[in-house]
Amino acid sequence: MAEVLVVGSCNMDLVFYAPRLPVPGETIHGTRFASGFGGKGANQCAAAAKLGAKAAMIGKVGNDTYGEECISNFKALGINADHVTVTGEASTGVGPVTVGEDGNNLLMIIPGANLHLTESDVDAASSLFQSAKVLLCQWEIPPHSTLHALKKAQDAGIFTIFNPAPAPQEKLSLDFFKYSDITCANETEASTMTGLEVTDVESAKVAVLHFLEMGCRIAIITLGKDGCVFASQGLEEPSWVQADKVNAVDTTGAGDSFAGALAFFFAKLPDLPLKEKLRRSCFVASDSVKREGAQKSYSWRRDLPDEVFA
Ligand code: RIB
């Protein structure tokens, strides 16, 4: 039984803390190293689970220590990991991340086993599609597997959220929008996908309307500390949702925290107006940047104010 189902990536993040981010060709001294559970799919699943959703993950890890640790971590978070399977073809995905003292990061992924998640793996988890209320997908697994999961979910009447992250390197099939109820991108992803430069609230308002013209039903662009902008078919004016000002320590995984929270609110409080779901998701994401790491920076439900869940 799962309310929020995630089909996506599992990584081990290798995090290098430094006074600032290096520029190309430069060597600088870092200050600390840490590892932590990451991967956009796994992060989003962890975020929804820590807020209190029954969550399940469909993913692929390598036959190695990181893979074993990722599966144990899902179980420790109460996530159904029955369909996180192991391949001998590649190592578990890793994400080397450099974090500067201003909380900003520089991030690369070596997807490894994530690229071995197939449509058959998704079909093998059909039972999870029977109970799920919300499906969340990103782009750190093969795009055809993502598209298959979105289509399968929509056929089953499940609400679908597509987070096209990281920014697509190839031309996007408009079918991704056809099978998604919500498309939620950050500035970089939105710029790549719309061909417009998205840097602030005003340019995001233009880009969400462009997303609607491309076929999105609801388009959201997240803007980090500036919150998010959204527009939906039938509602002409884009809206801006502001985020609380916080002191950012590490922004890694903040976008995933937002997406996981949004899935949580759709699954658990479906009658809440969209703008309020987004305001609360911004609150949850802003809370996560106050701490280091991705999944480990996400608060449990018990640590957040009751109003977030009312
Ligand atoms: O969004 C942050 C995540 O992106 C990291 O955890 C890293 O693993 C990459 O997937």
Closest C-alpha to 236, from 209, 211, 203, 200 = 209
- Ligand 1 atom 8: the closest Cα is on which residue? 39
Kindly give the distance from the C-alpha atom of residue 253 to the centroid of ligand 1, in angstroms, as a whole number: 6
Its sign, for the CA torsion 290, 295, 298, 300, is negative
CATH number of the CATH domain containing 168: 3.40.1190.20
For residue range 117-161, list pLDDT tens digits in order.
999 999 999 999 999 999 999 999 999 999 999 999 999 999 999
Q: How many CB atoms lie within 10 A of CB 306?
A: 7
**Amino acid (one-letter) located at 234:** G
The one-letter code for the residue type at 264 is F
Query: Exposed e or buried b for every residue in 222-251, given b needs 16+ CB within 10 A?
Result: bbbbbbbbbbbeeeeebebbebeeeebbbb
Q: What is the dihedral of CA 277, 279, 281, 286, to 10 degrees?
A: -170
Distance 214 CA to ligand 1 centre (A): 27
Residue 51 inside a domain? The answer is yes
Q: Backbone phi, then psi, for 57, in 5-degree steps?
A: -125, 135
pLDDT band at 1 (very low <50, low <70, confident <90, very high): confident
pLDDT tens-digit map of 262-310: 999 999 999 999 999 999 999 999 999 999 999 999 999 999 999 999 9
Domain membership flag for residue 65: yes
Q: How many other CB atoms are found less than 10 A from the CB of residue 159?
A: 19
Range of the domain at 274: 4-11+39-93+111-308
Q: Give the pTM.
A: 0.97
* pLDDT tens sequence across 153-205: 999 999 999 999 998 887 889 999 999 999 999 999 999 999 999 999 999 99
Strand partners, 178: none
Question: Cα separation of 71 and 89, whole Å?
Answer: 18
Residue 135: inside a domain, yes or no?
A: yes
CA distance 232 to 241: 14
Q: Give alpha helix (H) positions in 9-86.
A: 40-51, 65-76
Q: Is 102 a catalytic residue?
A: no
Residue 103 lies inside a defined structural domain of this protein: no
In Å, how far are 8, 43, 97, 111, 136 from 184, measured between CA atoms? 15, 15, 23, 21, 10
Query: Is the C-beta atom of 250 inside 6 A of ligand 1?
Result: no
13 lines ligand 1 (CB under 6 A): yes
Residue 102 lies in a domain: no
Closest CA to 233 of 168, 183, 187: 183
d(CA 252, CA 184): 17
Q: Say how many domains are in the chain.
A: 1
How close is the Cα of 256 to the center of ligand 1, in Å?
8
198 Rama class: left (phi>0) / alpha (psi -120 to 50) / beta: beta
Q: Is the pLDDT of residue 103 over 90?
A: no
- Of 209, 174, 163, 127, nearest to 45 by C-alpha is 163
Establish if 17 belongs to a structural domain: no
Q: Kindly give the number of the ligand 1 atom that is closest to the alpha carbon of 295.
A: 6
Residue 300 is assigned to a structural domain of this protein: yes
Pocket test for ligand 1, best of 10, 11, 114, 295 (most atoms within 8 A of CB): 11
Whether 20 is covered by a domain: the verdict is no
